[in-house]
Structure 1
Amino acid sequence: MSSTLEAGVADPPRGPRPPLGRILDLEQVDADLYLGRSYNDAALRIYGGQAVGQALIAAGRTVTQERRAHSLHGHFIHPGNPREPVLYHVERVRDGGSFTTRSVRATQGGVTIFLLTASFQRPERGFSHQALETAAPAPEELPEFDDSVDPDYLAEADWLPHLRANIAVDFRFPEEYPRIANARGESRPPRQRAWVRTSTRLAEDPLTQAAGFAYTSDLFLLSSALPPHAVTIDEPGMQLASLDHSVWLHEDFRADEWHLYEQEGLWTGGGRGLARGHLYDRNGVLVASTMQEGLLRLAASRLRS
């Protein structure tokens, strides 16, 4: 499974986008067994966020609707083939008075490619605070990415049409995307942020909206560990792939509406990187948090002293 790819509802289309609504609409083939498809034969491998989102849908289909997903933890085992369907096997681990736990194993051809544990909670009242605050220009005040960068860079940015063809997420950056500075050979702090939303309107139900963010949450995240090193994921000899991925959903929100996704690369070493993210609504309310560890390996011959 890979995160090497790095805007929605009202934006003009820029070529075909993956049909996210269909991607998240799994087919039930047996008790606690669901089938998902990519609807994309051009991609080299399944986008990691797709596996997370589909696995969450499979888990949620076995839980009463009143219970909301509040945390999910996944491990990417093998790259997935987008030209083949994925089977999601759900294990009903626990049904408690307040919490429900599900384990999901995603397989292709009998081989496990992804594992997910998801927890759901019945609604309840409790303490409320958040330690973090943020502010940024509204997404409507920001230019689309193509209009915010040097045309010469855009002409060479092969990653952009590839991303748009394979990931159904719109994005706008409040500041220069660090990848651009890195392409100029300049180091930047390990932080980046973008307004994000799914590129298509999704079904109203909370499970689909939660899965929409689970799908989105993998985008850009691990690359936030690269800016201090002045390299991009396009660097020859670079290997970047998600190893594990966690999402905490603090409250219901719509993944198909703009939210500010702030990301920070906390650590790199041993060929790996660790990144975290925080998702805020327009009022600065923290609605979700993420963490991801991934492979960040550069061929020894390319390492800079």
Structure 2
Amino acid sequence: MPLTHGVEPLASLTRPPVGKILTLGQRGNDLFRGESHTNARRIYGGQTLGQALVAAGRTVERDHNPHSLHGHFIHPGRSDLPVDYIVERVRDGGSFTTRLVRALQNDRTILLATASFQRDEDGLTHQDTATTPAPVPENLPRFEDSLDASDPGDAQWLSQLMSNVGVEFRFPEEYPRLANRRGRRLPPRQRAWIRTPSRIGDESLLHAAGFAYCSDLFLLSSALPPHARHIDTPGLKLASLDHTVWLHAPFRADEWHLYEQHGYWMGGGRGIGRGRLYNRNGTLMASTMQEGLLRFR
């Protein structure tokens, strides 16, 4: 039975195939092409981040693994057109390798990214951050099962999200969007267990790119709860401006990790969100930062 009239049943929806999205075609020396494999009007930002990292990694020696990705979203992309990734070999060093990637669609730049890779080495280690315990994802309901089936706004939003973004997520606490829709103000924090819904192979580059793909989900919206607003609030214009991913250790993006997000600043029509990704043992695996447009008319 559908959630609401005019909304496709969630049980019949399939998320986009992330492994296929991250599989790029090579069209020349340091030139790669990616596809969206969705019916969305615009390209999900995490797609270009993940594809840009794969394109950069295909030009790097296999003993160098990605440790940082910095992207600037220049223009929105269309999902019905392919994206070409031009890689510039900025530096090839013994320890570090740097690449500049330009994502083009119809000769228009939609993303500029730099990616850095490092040869594995030992060193001092610590983490000055921790997460609070959360129920394991296997004991949490799927997010689509936790919504009120009588609310057409939430049903429509989730239907579009599941059709266009290949990320599975489960919230250990109530997702702030739901409280914001009731007019309740909350601290600018949220967290969810996330993973890609299908396996994406064993190559470490693809898992780093898989998290880059996932990392764009919800991050900017973490700045909205103190204002009792959400991403579908009438009059809101939301767009990612820049996005950074730091990878601290290899991990599988198709396994559950707890993604904590903190929207610690908002002003001037912009907001900043910070993310931290933990494994089940509480080890910090990756960090993210994103600035975006949050303009209300």
TM-score bracket relative to the smaller structure:
over 0.9
Q: Is the 8 A contact 2:272 2:292 kept in 1?
A: yes
* Equivalent in the alignment of 2:125: 128
Secondary structure at the aligned position of 1:158 is classed as: helix
1:303 corresponds to: none
Which of 16, 33, 36 is the equivalent residue of 1:18? 16
Contact kept in structure 2, 1:169 and 1:216, CA below 8 Å? yes
Q: Which of 107, 115, 123 pairs up with 1:110? A: 107
Per the alignment, residue 73 of structure 1 pairs with 70
Taking the aligned partners of 2:267 and 2:103, their CA distance within structure 1 comes to 29
Q: Between 124-133 and 143-152, report the one with greater CA deviation.
A: 143-152
Q: Is the 8 A contact 1:26 1:34 kept in 2?
A: yes
Give the 3 Å change call, closer, same or farther, for CA 85–284 of structure 1 in structure 2: same
Per the TM alignment, residue 21 of structure 1 is displaced from its structure 2 partner at its CA by 1.3
Separation of aligned partners in 1, 2:236 and 2:163:
22
Normalised to the residue count of structure 2, the TM-score between the two structures is 0.94
Q: How many residues align?
A: 287
Provide the C-alpha distance between the structure 2 equivalents of 1:243 and 1:282, rounded to a whole number of angstroms.
Answer: 31
The unaligned stretches of length 5 or more in structure 1 are: 1-11, 300-305
Question: Where in structure 2 are there 5+ consecutive unaligned residues?
Answer: 1-9
1:284 corresponding residue in structure 2 = 282
Aligned to 1:190: 188
- Paired residue secondary structure (2:88): strand
Displacement of 1:16 after TM fit? 2.4
Cα distance between partner residues in 1 of 2:243 and 2:139: 31
Equivalents in 2 of 1:123, 1:68: separation in Å?
Answer: 7
- Distance of 1:13 and 1:249 partners within structure 2: 34
Q: Report what 1:160 is aligned to.
A: 158
Aligned twin of 1:6: none
Matched with 1:37 is 35
Normalised TM-score (structure 1): 0.92
Following superposition, the deviation at residue 156 of structure 1 comes to 4.2
Amino acid aligned to 2:114: T
Where 1:231 maps in the other structure, the secondary structure is coil
Match of 2:214 in 1: 216
Deviation of 1:155 after TM superposition, in Å, equals 6.7
Question: What is the CA-CA distance between 1:66 and the residue it aligns to?
Answer: 1.1
3-state secondary structure, aligned to 1:140? helix
Which piece of structure 1 moves more, 258-267 or 152-161?
152-161
Tell me the equivalent position of 2:5. Answer: none
Amino acid at match of 1:61: R
Preserved contact between residue 146 and residue 154 of structure 1 (Cα < 8 Å): no
Secondary structure of 1:44's aligned partner:
coil
Amino acid in structure 2 at the alignment position of 1:270: G
- Cα offset for 1:154? 6.4
1: CA distance between counterparts of 2:244 and 2:80?
A: 26
**What is the aligned-residue RMSD (CA, Å)?**
1.2
Q: Mean Cα displacement is larger for which, 152-161 or 15-24?
A: 152-161
Alignment partner of 1:297 is 2:288: no
**One-letter amino acid matched to 2:42:** R
**Identity within the alignment, %:** 64
Alignment of 1:46-57 (within 5 A): 46-57=43-54
From 54, 61, 64, the equivalent of 1:64 is 61
**Are 2:144 and 2:158, in contact at CA under 8 Å, matched by a contact in 1?**
no
Aligned letter for 2:35?
Answer: R
